């Protein structure tokens, strides 16, 4: 083995510190011989004081951290074993949203016309379907495809282009189950939501996000007037139009209708989507059904 100093690493210079010479043991200073302390004089006090130990802050702090961590871990583990509600929030949300999707998906349909496709959902006990007016685009009849693969012919009983709402009545209501509409509650910014539909023809697609804003003024439907909409970052793409935006309880809070995009020619989700509030959509649907 060569005893010369190692070559410097490129750009770092020579290593610093004492040279290492193999075969030589370092000389250590002699350890002083401890001297015995004289015994203390006898005391007549019956209370013997406890001599305080020299504090060791670093060791004590580390030990305290380890003990605290162990205790916290044990407590969390014990609560998790005994109380399902104490499970991590992410696990609870994941399982909850999975159940919500499973409950809502059978009520969501793909809507196909001669010129394109979109989404819709069953919204009343007669099996009628709510979708966007721009999805049916003036058609009198369309085809709806259910989650179980059945295809039904449906009549467009009316539409409201100003609110971008249309109502379909399928040839049969057998096997159709209505979703719950959250018409009596108001969502909050930050609430978890699911967007369900058939983006790009991929039926049964579920995406998750939050309510990003309420009462966002956007142009929806025909005309130049602006209407209030829910804003969400749940992924919405062409084909999602007419599908439901549901909350963490599985209640429909809006109809997915439009997205903001940076490329008008190849529009896709950039995390800014808009949904018609369900109360507005339900009111428009009722007017259509009543023949207004």
241 is catalytic: yes
How far apart, in Å, are the Cα atoms of 260 and each of 215, 233, 235, 263, 274? 16, 11, 11, 9, 8
d(CA 43, CA 59) in angstroms, rounded, equals 35
d(CA 289, CA 169) in angstroms, rounded, equals 10
* The two three-digit tokens of residue 185, written as one number: 């509650």
Closest CA to 138 of 109, 158, 110: 158
Return the DSSP state at 92.
Answer: H
Closest CA to 101 of 248, 260, 218, 1: 248
Q: Which of 124, 159, 160, 164 is catalytic?
A: 164
Q: Which of 241, 247, 269, 280 is catalytic?
A: 241
164 is catalytic: yes
d(CA 60, CA 62) in angstroms, rounded, equals 6
Q: Which of 119, 124, 134, 208 is catalytic?
A: 134
d(CA 148, CA 204) in angstroms, rounded, equals 10
How far apart, in Å, are the Cα atoms of 106 and each of 51, 109, 110, 142, 179? 76, 8, 11, 19, 9
Task: Report, as residue numbers or ranges, the catalytic residues.
Answer: 134, 164, 241
């Amino acid at each position: 083995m060569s005893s010369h100093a190692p070559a410097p690493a490129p750009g770092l210079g020579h290593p610093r510190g004492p040279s290492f010479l193999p075969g030589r043991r370092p000389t250590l200073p002699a350890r002083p011989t401890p001297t015995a302390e004289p015994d203390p004089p006898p005391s007549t006090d019956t209370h013997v004081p406890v001599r305080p130990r020299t504090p060791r802050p670093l060791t004590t702090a580390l030990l305290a951290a380890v003990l605290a961590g162990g205790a916290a871990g044990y407590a969390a583990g014990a609560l998790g074993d005994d109380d399902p509600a104490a499970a991590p929030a992410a696990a609870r949300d994941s399982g909850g949203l999975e159940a919500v999707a499973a409950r809502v998906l059978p009520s969501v349909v793909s809507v196909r016309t001669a010129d394109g496709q979109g989404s819709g959902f069953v919204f009343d006990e007669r099996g009628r379907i709510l979708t966007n007016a721009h999805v049916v685009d003036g058609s009198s009849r369309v085809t709806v495809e259910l989650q179980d693969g059945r295809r039904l012919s449906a009549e467009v009983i009316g539409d409201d282009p100003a609110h971008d709402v249309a109502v379909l009545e399928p040839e049969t209501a057998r096997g159709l189950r209505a979703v719950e509409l959250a018409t009596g509650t108001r969502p909050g910014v930050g609430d978890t939501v699911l967007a369900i539909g058939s983006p790009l023809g991929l039926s049964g697609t579920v995406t998750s996000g939050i309510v990003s804003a309420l009462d966002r003024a956007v142009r929806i439907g025909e005309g130049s007037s602006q209407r209030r909409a829910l804003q969400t970052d749940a992924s919405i793409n062409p084909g999602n139009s007419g599908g439901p935006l549901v909350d963490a309880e599985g209640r429909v809070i809006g109809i997915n209708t439009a997205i903001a995009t940076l490329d008008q020619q190849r529009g896709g989700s950039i995390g800014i989507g808009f949904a018609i509030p369900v109360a507005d959509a339900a009111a428009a649907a009722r007017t259509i059904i009543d023949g207004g």
